[in-house]
Structure 1
Amino acid sequence: MSALSEGARVALLVPGSHAYLDAVMSLLARGIFPIPLDPRLTTYERDRILAQLSPDLVVDDEGSLADLTDGTLGPPRARPMHVTSGTTGTPKGVDSGLLSAEHAAALVAEERELWGLQEGDVNLVLSPLYHSAPLRFAMGTVLAGGRVVIPGPFDPSVVTAAIDTERPTTMFCVPTHLQRLFAHWDEVGTPDLSSFRLVAHAGAPCPHDVKRRLLEEFPEGSTWEFYGSTEGQFTACRSEEWLERPGTVGRARPGRSLSVDPDGTIWCAVPAHARFSYFGDPEKTAAAWRGDSFTVGDLGRLDDDGYLYLDGRRSDLIISGGVNVYPMEVEQVLGEHPGVRDIAVYATPDAQWGQRVCAAVVGSASEAELTAYARERLAPPKRPKTWVLLDELPRTLTGKIRRDELPDVTAP
């Protein structure tokens, strides 16, 4: 494997593991940008994303991870370049740029101080490491001198066994994880959770009954919710605060401040070490920033004490099982099917996944044809679970799709 120079980009298309974590941290310590990607991406998706990012190296063999680790230790000199589609449907890399020594140290210190990361911590990884939050918690734990437990693809029984044997102190999860764990524990009994001092959840709205059970099951004061995006973090909220203000996602993280425009658009002012750009897209970058504040287009409101309430995620964003699904991206892919004349991708509530990806289609393609086409070109979270075949889509006089008039499909 050829030597990588400072500022190089390395696309990682392999499952999460300790070798994966070591590789990411070694690359970042040398000022090289890992690009964590879902290894389940189809060839079509992979090529589309990589065309935007022009990586210097693509790693799709787990055996090659060791070659990326040269023993270099130290604080990350950049953030991993995670990819977000945003509302454009075109994948973009979120680029922190190379950080100065001061900013690199501040990046590590912010996470350590907020979450109290320490040498004795044992971080249990539930989500794939190509997602930003689980990777951030795992890296922060290692940098604080703790250790990380990576049981593999999420399985409630495997996670429960890991809690029993590894006695983790911290865990990041999404509400779907909690729902599946609670259902499993109803069958086999709840494990001893006394080792936990921090259980943080984010990624999707948490049903109130799940939130209340979270509070009941885990040690007092241990559970948190936070609100953020691939681009950056906005808030953090102890569950006890949520009890006093049900529905809030908390106040601004330390060192940050929030503001909301008259139309509800949320802005977050961040320190210099948390700035970013969209790789290769100065126009999109400029639209995201106003002074030292950025927005991802989410809508919300602040109460008099500075607590944020979300009135809606980005209007076109679907969050299914804690995974962001961008309708425009799915529409662009499926719209290339010769039997699709018009298409609208949208969400309906789903008890298991939070939101269910649905597609209303106008054309000659059958449901079986569409399912097969999606399987070839879209990763599992993006594939519509429900297809609705229509004669025409509801539209306004100016041609915009009336998503509020699309069929309300109830999950079976």
Structure 2
Amino acid sequence: MGNITESYKTFAKLSPEKVAIHTNHQQISYQEWYKLINQTANWLHSLHSENKTIGILLPNGIPFLQLFAGAAKAGWIAVPYDLKWKITELEERVILSDPSIIVTTREIYSQIKQSIPNVMILDDSLQEIYQFDPTTVLKTEGNLPFYIGFTSGTTGKPKAFVRSQDSWVASFDCNRFDFGLDESDQVLISGALIHSHFLYGAISILYLGGTVFLLDKFSPIEGLSWIHSFPITTIYVVPTMVEAFLKEGIQVDKSIKMISSGAKWSDRSKLEIRNIIPNMTMYEFYGASELSFITVLPDSEGIQKATTVGKPCYGVEVQIRRPDQELAKPTETGKIYVRSKLMINGYFDHDGRTIHSIQDEEGWATVHDMGYLDEDGFLYIVGREQNMILYGGINIFPEEIEKVLSLHPDVEEVAVIGLSDSYWGQVVAAVVKGKSSQLELRRFCRAHLSSYKIPRKWFFLSEMPYTTSGKIARAELIKRMEKR
């Protein structure tokens, strides 16, 4: 299919002065961006690395996107590392991904140089890059691996996956067909580029020839200010960001597309955000790091079928299978399987080189989410197989209980987990951050849930533990609550 940077040359010719990326500190035109990517690719070629892997340990900014896109152009693999990781977490992921060079800021360099090998200061690398030819670049083979990412899984132990260029080039069609994006779009990337939702959002818009407005870090006030001040047409968000916008309560009258991933929006949040952004078009999509886009739910369908995650994205097939691998009937819950050209190549073995595919012989894969398809082909998520609680032989999905509890106005955050029980096997426990009482929440559950789904144990925390990707750390919660 080609390289994720192949369109830059076209836009450098057709719209040389058009802004490719706008940040707080600078903006860069497509002509400048094309030359910069060529220089970066030529610099990487000059390093004569065997494994051709570059680690990126940087805050949001043009250099982050430059090194990522330049690596793809050069046929290298880019590995974004999270600035919030502790040194031990970083070391673990560096060993897994084995980069030949890691580029970071001067401040971070001084903190990690004793522990992490092959680290280079950004300013030094940029000085070297600017010495290279900006007009030509050595041609690379097609469909090379270009991106290593990490998932933590149930244990919190990192797993490294590798993705090839074709998977993202194919997924750019989802931007066109499912989200209606093209070169006219001006897109606000409001979150950290370490997260694939925002990194993909930026790189895909550059491929389509639009303009990326990149915040240094998420700020609801600054995000809303940019929406008011610049011709922004689209914003990439996760539901927690929507909640932050709601708290500001600032009215936005212009037409905006909002593309959300990470978790299902609550019905309350959807209604409230419309009060402050009445001309908004919502697009929720369900996906996974390993599988990319799976389904999409635009506004028009979300109103009629509020609890669904939508229909399959462009080029994506979805099946629901029973435990015996037979296809489930409509509305029958089973494991969700996906087939598309958007998936990862596979996971790295711990030797860091062997890749294990996640697809079966016919190209189907699963991340063990459970759900069902209705008669109209809409997908509904019931929960994750690994989160499922086995209560006296009955399967309970915590996500259903969490959805109910999150509707209570005094519940800020909630996680429902299964705790060991000598008689029942497991019992349902709710861990809540908020002001409400156990008695009040029990009554609330009784009005919305079957009796066996009402939590038997309740815990109240001032703060939840999180994984490095910002999700509630269920494994850690279970360990903590088992000790109480």
Q: TM-score with structure 1 length normalisation?
A: 0.71
CA distance in 2, matches of 1:146, 1:97: 23
Compared CA separation, residues 390 and 174, structure 1 to 2 (3 A): closer
Alignment of 1:379-398 (within 5 A): 381=470, 393=482
User: Cα distance, 1:89 vs. partner?
Assistant: 3.2
Post-superposition Cα deviations, 1:202-243, rounded to whole Å, max 9, x if no partner, equal 101211111223445446572110001111221111022111
Q: Which amino acid in the other structure matches residue 270 of structure 1?
A: S
Task: Provide the residue aligned with 2:74 in structure 1.
Answer: 30
Name the CA distance, whole Å, in 2 between partners of 1:389 and 1:106. Answer: 39
Q: Can you list the C-alpha shifts for 1:85-143, whole angstroms capped at 9, x where unaligned?
A: 223533122212464xxx77534444334333322211101110111111111111111
Q: Residue in 2 aligned with 1:363?
A: none
Q: 1:109 to 1:65 in 2, by over 3 A?
A: farther
Given that residues 14 and 59 in structure 1 are in contact (C-alpha distance below 8 angstroms), is that contact kept between their aligned partners in structure 2? yes
Aligned residues: 342
Measured in 2, the distance between the counterparts of 1:237 and 1:21 equals: 29
Matching residue's letter, 1:39: L
Larger Rg: 2
1:201 equivalent in structure 2? 260
Q: Partner residue of 1:269?
A: 339
Alignment of 1:399-410 (within 5 A): none
Deviation at 1:251, TM superposition (A): 0.8
Q: Residues 297, 350 of structure 1: CA spacing in aligned structure 2 closer, same or farther, 3 A cutoff? A: farther
Please give the root-mean-square deviation of Cα atoms over the aligned residues, in Å: 4.0
**Superposed displacement of residue 184, structure 1:** 0.2
- The answer for the alignment partner of 1:348 in structure 2 is 431
Corresponding residue for 2:60? 16
Closer/same/farther in 2, CA of residues 389 and 217 from structure 1, 3 Å limit: closer
Q: Which residue in the other structure is 1:227 paired with?
A: 286
Q: Which amino acid in 2 is paired with 1:301? A: Y
> 2:365 is matched by which residue type in structure 1?
F
CA distance in 1, matches of 2:77, 2:227: 33
For 2:375, give the aligned amino acid.
Answer: D
CA-to-partner distance for each residue in 1:175-195, whole Å, 9 max, x for gaps? 11011101102xxx313332x
Secondary structure class of the residue paired with 2:148: coil
Alpha-carbon distance in structure 1 between the residues aligned to 2:129 and 2:161? 22
Tell me how far apart the structure 2 counterparts of residues 155 and 76 of structure 1 sit (CA, whole Å): 37
Structure-2 change in CA distance of 1:349 and 1:175 (3 Å): farther
Contact 1:7-1:98 at 8 Å conserved across structures: no
For each residue in 1:12-66, what CA deviation from the matched residue of structure 2 results, as whole angstroms up to 9, or x when unmatched? 1111112211221111122211111211111010011111111121222243563
- Equivalent residue of 1:212, what SS? helix
Answer whether contact 2:246 2:276 (CA < 8 A) is retained.
no
Contact 1:236 1:250 in 2 (8 A): yes
User: Which amino acid in structure 2 is aligned with residue 152 of structure 1?
Assistant: D
Aligned to 2:420: none
Give unpaired runs (5+ residues) of structure 2.
1-42, 106-121, 324-333, 389-397, 403-414, 418-428, 436-456
Q: Give matches, 1:1-400, under 5 Å.
A: 3=47, 5=49, 8-61=52-105, 62-63=122-123, 66=126, 78-97=145-164, 99=166, 105-185=169-249, 189-194=250-255, 196=256, 198-218=257-277, 222-231=281-290, 232-263=292-323, 264-271=334-341, 274-280=343-349, 285-286=356-357, 289=360, 291-313=362-384, 315-316=386-387, 348-350=431-433, 381=470, 393=482
Secondary structure of residue in 1 paired with 2:375: coil
> Are the aligned partners of 1:26 and 1:68 in contact in 2 as well (CA < 8 Å)?
no
Amino acid at match of 2:202: A
Segments of structure 1 that go 5 or more residues without pairing to the other structure are: 328-345, 353-359, 361-366, 395-406, 408-412
TM-score by length of 2: 0.61
